[in-house]
Amino acid sequence: MICNQHAEFKDAIAYQHVTIVEAHAGWCGPTDCVKLSLWQMGMQNDNLKFATASTDKIQLLKEYQGRVKPMFLVYKDSKRLAEIEGAACAACCKCAV
C-alpha cells in the first residue's frame, strides 16, 4: 500500500495484524532493495501488511523528515511497536512473525 495522504496512513496502521511502514523522504523515495523483499513477505503472509509513506506528506511522520537512512516503523492496531533504522530486512522479518 502506498500512503500519500493522512487517511491512507491511518487505515494502513489500524490493521489488526502487523503493518511495516517504510517512512521515506519525498526526494529519495522507497528503498527498492528492501521493499521488494517485504512486499513478497506480505504477499505470503495474511497477518502482515507492508506500506510506504512519504514523510513530506504524512503529518504523523514529520519527525522522520530529512533522514538519509531508510526508516521502517512496525505497527499493530495503530500502536507503534518498533522502529528499525537502515536497510535491515532481517530485523523487519523478525517483527513480522
Is 2-96 assigned to CATH 3.40.30.10? yes
Whole-prediction pTM = 0.75
* Beta-strand relationship, 71-76 and 18-24: antiparallel
What digits encode the pLDDT tens for the residues 12-43?
A: 889 888 888 888 877 666 666 666 677 677 67
Q: How far apart are CA 77 and CA 10, in angstroms?
A: 10
Higher-confidence position of 75 and 84: 75
Among 22, 1, 2, 10, which Cα is nearest to 59's?
10
The residue that leads in pLDDT, 88 or 56, is: 56
> Residue 60 is which amino acid?
L
What is the share, in percent, of the chain residues with pLDDT greater than 90? 5
